[in-house]
Amino acid sequence: MPVQRRMLLGAAGLAVFITVCVGWLFQSVGKPVAWWGYLGLLALSASLVYALARLLRKGARESGVQTIDTYKELE
């Protein structure tokens, strides 16, 4: 799987987790949020997580740190 797609799927997964946790928090407090608020939070958190992943990957590349993407590269 290409690295870009893996980063995008990881960002989407973390964004879904963040949105579910925030939704659960607001529901348990008794302050429901409109459905478009959750979509906005999902989009915002996915974009922030994706941007952070790109920055970390770019920083590792520029500093000369080698990342290991697969188990076969360890051998």
Residue 23 has phi, psi (to 5 degrees) of: -60, -45
Tell me the pLDDT tens digit for each residue of 23-39: 999 888 888 888 898 99
Tell me the pLDDT tens digit for each residue of 35-74: 898 999 999 999 999 888 888 877 655 666 565 666 555 5
**Cβ contact 50:8 at 8 Å:** yes
Which among 49, 47, 48, 42 is positioned nearest to 21, based on CA atoms? 42
pLDDT of 7 higher than 80: no
DSSP single-letter state for residue 67: P
Quote the pTM value: 0.67
Which among 71, 70, 67, 46 is positioned nearest to 57, based on CA atoms? 67
Residue bearing tokens 């995008």: 8
